[in-house]
Amino acid sequence: METAVFPCWLLFLLLSPAVPTCFPTDFTMYVERPECDYCVAINTTICMGFCYSRDSNVRAIVGPRFLIQTGCNYDKVEYRAALLPGCPIDSDPVFSYPVALSCRCGTCRTDSDECVHRAPGVGGARCTKPHHPEVHFWDFAI
Protein backbone atom coordinates (compact mmCIF):
# COMPACT_ATOMS: atom_id res chain seq x y z
CA MET A 1 0.00 0.00 0.00
CA GLU A 2 2.75 2.48 0.92
CA THR A 3 4.58 1.79 -2.33
CA ALA A 4 1.50 2.85 -4.31
CA VAL A 5 1.09 6.08 -2.32
CA PHE A 6 4.58 7.37 -3.11
CA PRO A 7 4.15 7.31 -6.93
CA CYS A 8 0.78 9.06 -6.57
CA TRP A 9 2.35 11.87 -4.52
CA LEU A 10 5.25 12.09 -6.95
CA LEU A 11 2.84 12.36 -9.88
CA PHE A 12 0.83 15.02 -8.01
CA LEU A 13 3.97 17.08 -7.32
CA LEU A 14 5.06 16.85 -10.95
CA LEU A 15 1.66 17.88 -12.37
CA SER A 16 0.62 20.49 -9.79
CA PRO A 17 2.63 23.35 -11.37
CA ALA A 18 0.71 22.75 -14.62
CA VAL A 19 -2.70 23.08 -12.94
CA PRO A 20 -3.86 26.70 -13.15
CA THR A 21 -5.15 28.48 -10.08
CA CYS A 22 -7.02 31.22 -11.88
CA PHE A 23 -10.46 31.91 -10.43
CA PRO A 24 -12.99 34.73 -9.97
CA THR A 25 -12.14 36.51 -6.73
CA ASP A 26 -14.18 39.02 -4.73
CA PHE A 27 -12.89 42.58 -5.09
CA THR A 28 -14.09 45.96 -3.84
CA MET A 29 -13.37 48.95 -6.03
CA TYR A 30 -13.87 52.53 -4.97
CA VAL A 31 -15.32 54.81 -7.63
CA GLU A 32 -15.57 58.56 -7.63
CA ARG A 33 -15.87 61.21 -10.31
CA PRO A 34 -14.61 64.78 -10.01
CA GLU A 35 -18.07 66.24 -10.67
CA CYS A 36 -19.88 64.00 -8.14
CA ASP A 37 -20.09 64.56 -4.38
CA TYR A 38 -19.57 61.02 -3.10
CA CYS A 39 -17.41 57.94 -3.43
CA VAL A 40 -19.05 54.56 -3.93
CA ALA A 41 -17.73 51.13 -2.90
CA ILE A 42 -18.66 48.54 -5.54
CA ASN A 43 -18.31 44.83 -4.86
CA THR A 44 -17.47 42.79 -7.94
CA THR A 45 -15.39 39.78 -8.97
CA ILE A 46 -12.11 39.93 -10.87
CA CYS A 47 -9.85 37.22 -12.26
CA MET A 48 -6.89 36.55 -10.03
CA GLY A 49 -4.40 33.74 -9.66
CA PHE A 50 -1.38 32.06 -11.17
CA CYS A 51 -0.95 30.56 -14.61
CA TYR A 52 1.92 28.55 -16.02
CA SER A 53 4.54 30.65 -17.82
CA ARG A 54 7.97 29.85 -19.18
CA ASP A 55 10.66 32.06 -20.70
CA SER A 56 13.81 30.41 -21.99
CA ASN A 57 17.12 32.10 -21.28
CA VAL A 58 18.43 30.73 -24.60
CA ARG A 59 15.62 32.20 -26.69
CA ALA A 60 18.02 33.36 -29.42
CA ILE A 61 19.08 29.75 -30.00
CA VAL A 62 15.80 27.84 -29.60
CA GLY A 63 13.38 30.49 -30.87
CA PRO A 64 9.98 31.48 -29.52
CA ARG A 65 8.64 27.92 -29.15
CA PHE A 66 9.95 27.79 -25.56
CA LEU A 67 8.34 31.12 -24.72
CA ILE A 68 5.02 30.53 -22.94
CA GLN A 69 3.55 33.55 -21.21
CA THR A 70 0.00 33.33 -19.98
CA GLY A 71 -1.96 35.33 -17.48
CA CYS A 72 -5.20 35.03 -15.57
CA ASN A 73 -7.85 36.62 -17.82
CA TYR A 74 -11.61 36.91 -18.10
CA ASP A 75 -13.27 34.00 -19.87
CA LYS A 76 -16.91 34.95 -19.38
CA VAL A 77 -17.74 38.43 -18.18
CA GLU A 78 -20.92 40.36 -17.49
CA TYR A 79 -21.06 44.14 -17.37
CA ARG A 80 -23.11 45.89 -14.72
CA ALA A 81 -23.73 49.52 -13.95
CA ALA A 82 -23.86 51.50 -10.75
CA LEU A 83 -25.60 54.83 -10.31
CA LEU A 84 -23.23 57.28 -8.62
CA PRO A 85 -25.02 59.52 -6.09
CA GLY A 86 -24.53 63.25 -5.78
CA CYS A 87 -23.80 63.96 -9.45
CA PRO A 88 -25.01 67.17 -11.11
CA ILE A 89 -27.99 66.90 -13.45
CA ASP A 90 -25.89 67.71 -16.52
CA SER A 91 -23.42 64.83 -15.89
CA ASP A 92 -23.69 61.09 -16.50
CA PRO A 93 -24.01 59.31 -13.11
CA VAL A 94 -23.77 55.77 -14.58
CA PHE A 95 -20.53 53.83 -14.06
CA SER A 96 -20.21 50.44 -15.80
CA TYR A 97 -17.84 47.74 -14.57
CA PRO A 98 -17.02 44.10 -15.40
CA VAL A 99 -18.02 41.13 -13.25
CA ALA A 100 -15.98 37.99 -13.85
CA LEU A 101 -18.18 34.91 -14.24
CA SER A 102 -15.30 32.58 -15.16
CA CYS A 103 -11.57 32.92 -15.75
CA ARG A 104 -8.96 31.24 -17.93
CA CYS A 105 -5.22 31.06 -18.30
CA GLY A 106 -4.15 32.41 -21.66
CA THR A 107 -2.71 35.35 -23.51
CA CYS A 108 -4.37 38.67 -22.89
CA ARG A 109 -6.96 39.77 -25.44
CA THR A 110 -5.99 43.39 -26.02
CA ASP A 111 -9.22 44.07 -27.93
CA SER A 112 -11.36 43.51 -24.82
CA ASP A 113 -9.07 43.38 -21.75
CA GLU A 114 -6.73 45.81 -20.06
CA CYS A 115 -3.36 44.07 -20.26
CA VAL A 116 -1.21 45.54 -17.50
CA HIS A 117 0.97 44.01 -14.82
CA ARG A 118 -0.78 46.00 -12.10
CA ALA A 119 -3.45 48.56 -12.65
CA PRO A 120 -2.77 51.95 -11.06
CA GLY A 121 -4.53 52.33 -7.75
CA VAL A 122 -5.14 48.60 -7.24
CA GLY A 123 -4.37 47.32 -3.78
CA GLY A 124 -5.37 49.74 -1.11
CA ALA A 125 -6.96 52.40 -3.31
CA ARG A 126 -9.43 54.41 -1.29
CA CYS A 127 -11.65 57.42 -1.79
CA THR A 128 -10.74 61.06 -1.48
CA LYS A 129 -14.42 62.00 -1.13
CA PRO A 130 -16.84 60.83 1.58
CA HIS A 131 -18.82 57.63 1.12
CA HIS A 132 -22.50 58.00 0.43
CA PRO A 133 -24.14 57.98 3.90
CA GLU A 134 -27.06 55.63 3.20
CA VAL A 135 -26.43 53.32 0.26
CA HIS A 136 -23.12 52.02 -1.07
CA PHE A 137 -24.28 51.36 -4.62
CA TRP A 138 -27.19 50.77 -6.90
CA ASP A 139 -26.75 47.85 -9.22
CA PHE A 140 -28.52 46.86 -12.41
CA ALA A 141 -27.50 44.66 -15.32
CA ILE A 142 -26.66 46.30 -18.63
**SS3 (DSSP) at 110:** coil
Q: What is the mean pLDDT of the chain?
A: 74
Do the domain assignments include residue 32?
yes
Do the domain assignments include residue 7?
no
Do the domain assignments include residue 83?
yes
What's the predicted TM-score (pTM) here? 0.65
Do the domain assignments include residue 75?
yes
Proportion of the chain in helix, strand, coil states, percent, rounded to 5 = 15, 40, 45
Mean pLDDT lowest among 75-79, 82-86, 123-127: 123-127
Q: What does the buried/exposed string (b/e) look like for 4-43 if buried means 16 or more CB atoms within 10 Å of the residue's CB?
A: eeeeeeeeeeeeeeeebebebeeeebebbbeebebbbebe
Task: Please count the structural domains in the chain.
Answer: 1
Asked whether the beta carbons of 50 and 66 are under 8 A apart, the reply is no
Domain ranges, residue 71: 18-141
